[in-house]
Amino acid sequence: MSGNTFGKLFTVTTFGESHGPALGAIVDGCPPGLELSEVDLQQDLDRRRPGTSRHTTQRREPDQVRILSGVFEGVTTGTPIGLLIENTDQRSKDYSQIKDRFRPSHADYTYHHKYGVRDYRGGGRSSARETAMRVAAGAIAKKYLATQGIQVRGYMSQLGPIDIDFKSWEAVDDNAFFCPDPQKVPELEAFMDQLRRDQDSVGARITVVAEGVPVGLGEPIFDRLDAELAHGLMSINAVKGVEIGDGFAAVTQRGSEHRDELTPEGFTSNHAGGVLGGISSGQPLIAHLALKPTSSITIPGRSIDVHGNAVEVVTKGRHDPCVGIRATPIAEAMMALTLMDHLLRHRAQNADVQVSTPRLR
Amino acid sequence: MSGNTFGKLFTVTTFGESHGPALGAIVDGCPPGLELSEVDLQQDLDRRRPGTSRHTTQRREPDQVRILSGVFEGVTTGTPIGLLIENTDQRSKDYSQIKDRFRPSHADYTYHHKYGVRDYRGGGRSSARETAMRVAAGAIAKKYLATQGIQVRGYMSQLGPIDIDFKSWEAVDDNAFFCPDPQKVPELEAFMDQLRRDQDSVGARITVVAEGVPVGLGEPIFDRLDAELAHGLMSINAVKGVEIGDGFAAVTQRGSEHRDELTPEGFTSNHAGGVLGGISSGQPLIAHLALKPTSSITIPGRSIDVHGNAVEVVTKGRHDPCVGIRATPIAEAMMALTLMDHLLRHRAQNADVQVSTPRLR
Amino acid sequence: MSGNTFGKLFTVTTFGESHGPALGAIVDGCPPGLELSEVDLQQDLDRRRPGTSRHTTQRREPDQVRILSGVFEGVTTGTPIGLLIENTDQRSKDYSQIKDRFRPSHADYTYHHKYGVRDYRGGGRSSARETAMRVAAGAIAKKYLATQGIQVRGYMSQLGPIDIDFKSWEAVDDNAFFCPDPQKVPELEAFMDQLRRDQDSVGARITVVAEGVPVGLGEPIFDRLDAELAHGLMSINAVKGVEIGDGFAAVTQRGSEHRDELTPEGFTSNHAGGVLGGISSGQPLIAHLALKPTSSITIPGRSIDVHGNAVEVVTKGRHDPCVGIRATPIAEAMMALTLMDHLLRHRAQNADVQVSTPRLR
Amino acid sequence: MSGNTFGKLFTVTTFGESHGPALGAIVDGCPPGLELSEVDLQQDLDRRRPGTSRHTTQRREPDQVRILSGVFEGVTTGTPIGLLIENTDQRSKDYSQIKDRFRPSHADYTYHHKYGVRDYRGGGRSSARETAMRVAAGAIAKKYLATQGIQVRGYMSQLGPIDIDFKSWEAVDDNAFFCPDPQKVPELEAFMDQLRRDQDSVGARITVVAEGVPVGLGEPIFDRLDAELAHGLMSINAVKGVEIGDGFAAVTQRGSEHRDELTPEGFTSNHAGGVLGGISSGQPLIAHLALKPTSSITIPGRSIDVHGNAVEVVTKGRHDPCVGIRATPIAEAMMALTLMDHLLRHRAQNADVQVSTPRLR
């Protein structure tokens, strides 16, 4: 209840501090009989892993995950799946600079007031390192969803001022940015190189899409599919905005333009982003998220210490100049976890339902 | 679990169909000793009520709420508060036009596939009429929050293409649009009059703000204050996007610009919108939401019937040409419910915490 | 979260004070397509209703339930079912005797300390009148379970010192005690008549049985079927003990005697009461519960008032001399709600499971 | 939701199979600032550990627990506490005897039907080995409760046919049985020695007591303190019955005898076992539980295999002839976890309550 669990039927509970001995998670509610091994999880962990290009932090985290339970002879048993990643890159370093002061735009100040005590090493629990466990758990959801014909993928749709059009899924995995347009990659690289020289950071926009979603997932009223997805995406570090389908563009649209008409051949458009009344329509589920620029920059900033005195803060260390670059696998994980949870919830209540009406795309 | 409950400690569970006998809610977890009467709830219900200007639906719904339990001799007792609104305007009308066909961009198609059966009268459970109960429950949260110095208010910040700057809270209650700029009201009225003549609808953008929020509310990782707020706001009918603080504008910002610096006199800015690491910072909590244009328009649209045949749909009846106009009290309610829940959650775990560090604004 | 909801997927949330305007409940998660009307609920409400024999309280509560939502054209729609019973027998009476004093063995003292304020009229929320809503909700669960071949029934197995053997289900509904042995009824009547003359009360033991339960219901570890059943039964007013199968008799048994052996023709016994490792075995699910004697007796008792002064309390009014007499339908309701919840939970996770092993009885 | 989490605010989620690589738990919601180290947990783990006398299984499980997160510089930080015990005694042995057959009175048959697949090594997830994590988590709850003046302790009150009177808490830790009467220990030893010679097993009765509980804990209606405690205790392997206070003895009591009268000097008795209306009364909280005899005995028993054929089963290996002997620390843990959860829940809703009425004992 203190907020480290996601989902209601397919639940993921995580623990771990950035510089503690380990990160871990318990994935509860996975259907039995799913083929699963550590390799399935490692793939997505490696996509999120830092240090794979010059545009992300140069920290070395092998992020080697172990499955400690819930899998027997290569298949899930229906019992909880324990996951563990030991922290290996725990440099013993001097934290006296940040121990008693609050880095601007970080959670230092709020953790301090909420708990009265905090693990200040590398941000402790508030570090984005925690998202490694989301990615590991999301990989389990992805694997099960794939057996149901559902595929969750994401890409970067904007880096700072640079808009990126979707060209192909193949392109996404061919560069360090999850950029779906190969022709834009040189521009992104040049932008990031200049940003590093400026010792500054920048925001990004990520798009995630689920294809093959059946019609009917989502519990209307409060636990709508889009509301829970917004919850999941907004819970990712640095995210400041979430859109479903046309999102904020819908503000200026007229009803005659926005509404997705239905024909026997299918929907004529997908302004809704795959959700109507909180329930999946069978069209692709589409969400966009805005990530803020990280505040861990070396340009000095004003702050206070725990006694209320003015101090100057310079965040040294190995930080991502654009946290959005590594966010795509995390966003995919949160969409997969949301869908997985709603797939199980749907089965619980609606196992008897049979409808002869054809399903549209 | 099928999604009609919001909150974990201060929980609101609702029921009711648009044209059924009644709407109701159970508010569980309210602290005892709060002075409360039906008048407190009716004020916000009247703000949301349709038919109060020519710019909203002309349906007559007195929305008279009764408190059935949980209040004794004028104060809450800590037991669940039962709320009831009897539906009075249940015109007996002919539904044969919509019974077997799906209105485009409505939940008809998705409810049909999810449940196999649906109350088609006026949208049934998927009608925005359900939000009356959110507003009633939100009024209880608002009243308690006010005793803690927290005030939740909202306004319309954009109507279709018309941007609206914030001028004053006083202005908001002086017009039918919740518009904070009195000089903009004539433009809004002219726009809406033309829209009605076009028989079309349009989207809107609403902003909600909570002032007086203490530092420390919100459970980091999945149940962040901003994530739960996004959940609550996205669960409102027609909402397609949610932003916290600068939201999508943060995509193009640099870290040196976005970060809110701290000085002994307070924060120097509030790009974060009052949340750092998922925990309230003590600054005003700010969120924006995008509402799509309603699809209930009289311009004919293509659709299919339950057998998959092509049909043409014209949505007659008394509908809002801009559902955003009445959305402000609903958005306030969801923010108040989110804050109330997190206030109680914070107290549960952190009752012992004492911090000597001064609190900033 | 303040405890007025039972179940995780098939949830029942109740409200209402003994002498308030109404009792109500929201049943969320009911599968769509179930034929349901108020008559289905009224049958069990009438079985629980007081005033039907001289051995229960002579209060008149017609307990007429209304379904306010979730049912359309005679079948459930999958949306929440709102239930309401208006309180009609609200005698205006003088509560000055109990307003400031605590009746021994009642919840007066504990509510006072927990909430600081309480509705003292007839026990307020702590009155067993609240159980009417459990019975109404339980009737919905029973009706759905019946469509799955599951039947939940109960009977009185002990009244004070009088042991009652099970003879037949037919007998249970033929007397005011839910006594399954018609030959015992005169003895029970004589005992109760003497008890009334003594102005005293007595305890009872109830047995509930579910037949037709499929093998596989129950989530091992914390949410075992038997653990959740114990939770539900112990939450009934006046219950002080719960047993599954042989219960406390198992303490003196040897393993060679207690274990239920399996043969191709079925289990050879049912000491376990239908649960192994927290999961239903396919045998009848059997539970026993102990109800304490009510403390509402006219023999004077010592107590204190809200100022801590010694006072003498005599509980006048219309009270049951044995609350166990009307407890059978309530116990059935809690078992039905528990099974219903676990049936849905099982479907969520294990929809894919196929086993060729024959099922035993 | 698949049942591996206990508690709502102070939550414990566990994973791990008997013969898998490790057992683990995440304890979420612990208040920050509590001094905590692995030594605190190890003490109770060692009390539960097998192989410490000839009367328990001779398996060697050092059960060395590691704290992986949530504790920094010796105090809890409010973030989730990850716990891990690596399994060291994983003998590679031949499971062909039990792989395809169901041990009578075990969970083999029900797991097989529920999940379609099971880890048959040593019972897998259904093994009582899982309770090690409950004990570790319970030790955290105990430590916090102690800072609030609450002490949770238990003892064996019956072994098979031998009743045991409570003599002193000091005696409990002086023998292998948690027997509070030192004079009874030789009788218990003789009984157990004979039982081993008989190759049979026997049941037991355990009593747990919490002293120093404040008045007011527990959420009335469904989440009563006694109902949640019954849930927790019944979820322990082999438990078949739970009593609060007088329990089943209340069936034959009269109201004039059962009711606990109040005087300015305190309650005159504690038949209720410390709970009135589901809320703690401030008196000692008392519960009793019945444990069945283990079915893991070497006397051959009839069973079937996965194809439905009759087979004979002899459970070899190192098993406890009375699982009740090691159950006391587990029962204490479940009571401590229940109280901890309710302490936090009470704080959430009732932080404002002030009562001048004196508290009784």
With H, G, I as helix, E, B as strand and everything else as coil, classify residue A268: coil
Nearest one of A62, A58, A69, A70 to A30, comparing CA atoms: A70
- pLDDT for the residue A296: 81
CA quadruple D173, D175, D176, D181: dihedral sign: negative
User: Is A125 annotated as ligand-binding?
Assistant: yes
* CB-CB under 8 Å, B252 with A161: yes
> What confidence score (pLDDT) does residue C64 get?
93
Contacts of A272 (CB under 8 A, 6+ apart): A244, A245, A246, A260, A281, A283, B105, B240, B292
State the pLDDT at residue C361. Answer: 86
Residues in contact with A105: Cβ distance below 8 Å, sequence separation at least 6, in sequence order: A295, B255, B258, B259, B260, B271, B272, B276
Contact C100, C37 (CB under 8 A): no
Query: If you compute the radius of gyration of chain D from its CA atoms, what whole number of angstroms results?
Result: 21
Judge contact between D81 and C323, C-beta under 8 A: no
Whether C232 has a pLDDT exceeding 80, the answer reads: yes
Q: Chain B residues with CB inside 8 Å of D349's CB?
A: 9, 29-32, 78, 344
Q: Does the structure show a pLDDT above 70 at A53?
A: yes
Measured between beta carbons, the chain B residues lying within 8 angstroms of A355 are 112-113, 116
Cβ of residue C345 closer than 8 Å to a chain A Cβ: yes
D345 touches chain B (CB under 8 A): yes
Residues of C in contact with A220 (CB under 8 A): 79
Q: Which residues of A touch D23 (CB under 8 A)?
A: 69
pLDDT value for C229: 98
DSSP annotation of A255: H
Nearest to D107 by CA among C37, A79, C45, A28: A79
> Concatenated DSSP letters for D165-232?
----HHHHTTSTT--S-GGGHHHHHHHHHHHHHTT--B-EEEEEEEESPPTT-S-SGGG-HHHHHHHH
State the 10-residue block means of pLDDT for chain B, 361 residues long.
Answer: 92 96 98 97 89 73 91 97 88 76 94 95 92 97 98 98 98 95 97 94 98 97 98 98 98 96 97 98 98 90 95 81 94 98 97 92 86
Cα-flanking dihedrals φ and ψ of residue B348, to 5°?
Answer: -60, -50
Q: Among C29, C31, C350, whose Cβ lies nearest the Cβ of A31?
A: C350
The least confident of A292-296, C135-139, D249-253, D294-298 is D294-298
Both tokens assigned to A156? 């970067």
Question: What is the spatial distance between Cα D339 and Cα A138, in angstroms, rounded to a whole number?
Answer: 34
In chain D, what are the domain boundaries? 5-350
Residue C101 marked ligand-binding: no
Cα D266 from chain centroid (whole Å):
31
- Name the more confident of D61 and D227: D227
What is residue A260's predicted lDDT score, i.e. its pLDDT?
97
Q: Per the CB < 8 Å rule, is D118 touching A72? A: yes
Assign A112 a pLDDT band (cuts: 50, 70, 90). very high
Average pLDDT over residues C325-330: 96
Q: How confident is the model at residue A310 (pLDDT cuts 50, 70, 90)?
A: very high
Is there a contact between C1 and B21 if contact means CB atoms under 8 Å apart? Answer: no
**Residue closest to B258 by CA, chosen among A322, C294, C261:** A322
DSSP string, A187-237: HHHHHHHHHHHTT--B-EEEEEEEESPPTT-S-SGGG-HHHHHHHHHHTST
**CA B338 to the chain's CA centroid:** 11
The arithmetic mean of pLDDT across residues C294-304, rounded, is 90
CB D242 within 8 A of CB C230: yes
A219, A261, A354 member nearest B303 (Cβ) = A261
Neighbours of chain D (3+ CB pairs under 8 A): A, B, C
Q: Can you tell me the mean pLDDT for C188-204?
A: 95
Q: Which range is least confidently modeled, B245-259, D96-110, D335-349? A: D96-110
Number of continuous H segments (helices) and E segments (strands) in chain C: 9, 18
Q: What is the DSSP string of C41-83?
A: HHHHHHHH-SSSSTTS--------EEE-SSEETTEE-SS-EEE
3-state secondary structure chain B: CCCCEECCCCEEEEECCCCCCEEEEEEECCCCCCECCHHHHHHHHHHHCCCCCCCCCCCCCCCCEEECCCEECCEECCCCEEEEEECCCCCCCCCHHHHCECCCCCCHHHHHHHHCCCCCHHHHHHCHHHHHHHHHHHHHHHHHHHHCCCEEEEEEEEECCEECCCCCHHHHCCCCCCCCCHHHHHHHHHHHHHHHHCCCCECEEEEEEEECCCCCCCCCHHHCHHHHHHHHHHCCCCEEEEEECCHHHHHCCEHHHHCCCEECCEECCCCCCCEECCEECCCCEEEEEEECCCCCCCCCEEEEECCCCEEEECCCCCCCCCHHHHCHHHHHHHHHHHHHHHHHHHHHHHCCCCCCCCCCC
Give the tens place of pLDDT for each residue, D167-196. Answer: 999 999 999 999 999 999 999 999 999 999
Is the CB of residue C238 less than 8 Å from the CB of residue D227? no
Q: How far is D73 from chain C (nearest CA, A)?
A: 32
The residue among C53, C81, C49, C47 whose CA lies nearest residue C63 is: C49
Tell whether the model's pLDDT for residue D91 goes beyond 70: no
Q: Provide the 8-state DSSP code for D308.
A: S
C132 marked as binding residue: no
A54–chain C nearest CA distance, Å? 43
Choosing among C10, C347, C353, which should be mutated to test the A contact, i.e. which has the most A CBs within 10 A? Answer: C347
How close C334 comes to chain D (CA, Å)?
10
Integer Cα distance of D19 and D122 in angstroms = 6
Note the residue count of chain A: 361
Span D113-161, pLDDT tens digits: 999 999 999 899 999 999 999 999 999 999 999 999 999 999 999 999 9
Q: Is B277 an interface residue toward D (CB < 8 Å)?
A: no
- The mean pLDDT value for A289-302 works out to 92
Gap between the Cα atoms of C2 and C12, Å rounded: 13
Q: How far apart are CA D247 and CA D232, in angstroms?
A: 16
C215 contact residues in D (CB cutoff 8 A): 109-110, 113-114
CA dist B48 and B55 (Å) reads: 13
Using the beta-carbon criterion (under 8 Å), do A21 and D68 form an inter-chain contact?
yes
Q: A344 Cβ partners below 8 Å, 6+ apart? A: A9, A10, A29, A31, C348, C349
- Give the closest residue to D205 by CA, choosing from D106, D297, D327: D327
Check: CB of residue C141 under 8 Å from CB of residue C337: yes
Instruction: Decide if pLDDT at C52 tops 80.
Output: no
**Beta pairing, strands C22-28 & C11-15:** antiparallel
**Among positive and negative, which fits the CA dihedral A48, A49, A50, A55?**
negative
Q: Which two tokens stand for residue B129?
A: 């009429």
* H or E, element range at C313: strand C310-313
Are C55 and C192 contacting, i.e. CB atoms less than 8 angstroms apart?
yes
Beta-bridged to residue A82, according to DSSP, are A26
Domain B5-350 coded CATH 3.60.150.10: yes
Give the single-character DSSP code of C254. B
Mean pLDDT for the stretch of residues D227-233: 98
Angle between helix axes A38-48 and A328-350 (nearest 10 degrees) is 140
Q: A321-357 burial, b if ≥16 CB within 10 A, otherwise e?
A: bbbbbbbbbbbbbbbbbbbbbbbbbbbbbbeebeeeb
Asked if residues C335 and C152 have their Cβ atoms less than 8 Å apart, the reply is yes
Residue C356 sits at the vertex; the CA angle it makes with C351 and C361, to the nearest 5 degrees, is: 90
Minimal-distance CA residue of chain B relative to D33: B353
| φ/ψ of residue D44, rounded to 5 | -75, -35
Of A30, A33, A220, the CB nearest to C353: A33
Provide the whole-model pTM.
0.97
Query: In whole angstroms, what is the distance from residue D130 CA to residue D330 CA?
Result: 10
8 A C-beta contact, residue B359 and residue B233: no
Q: Give the tens place of pLDDT for each residue, A92-107.
A: 577 777 889 999 999 9
pLDDT in tens, A160-169: 999 999 999 9
Vertex B156: Cα angle to B152 and B160 (nearest 5):
155
> Of A22-31, A52-61, B327-336, C182-191, which range is least confident?
A52-61
Summarize pLDDT for D293-312 with one digit per residue, the tens: 998 888 899 999 999 999 99
Averaged confidence pLDDT in chain C: 94
In 3-state terms, what secondary structure has residue A177? coil
In a mutagenesis test of the B interface, which of A260, A292, A298, A322 is the best target, namely the one with the most B β-carbons within 10 Å?
A: A292
Is residue A83 within 8 Å of residue A76, measured between CB atoms?
no
Q: What pLDDT does residue B63 have?
A: 86
Judge contact between A222 and B6, C-beta under 8 A: yes
List of E strands, chain D: 5-6, 11-15, 22-28, 65-67, 71-72, 75-76, 81-86, 151-159, 162-163, 204-211, 239-244, 262-263, 266-267, 275-276, 279-280, 285-291, 301-304, 310-313
Residue A264 annotated as binding site: no
Residue C295's closest CA among C195, C192, C156, C202? C202
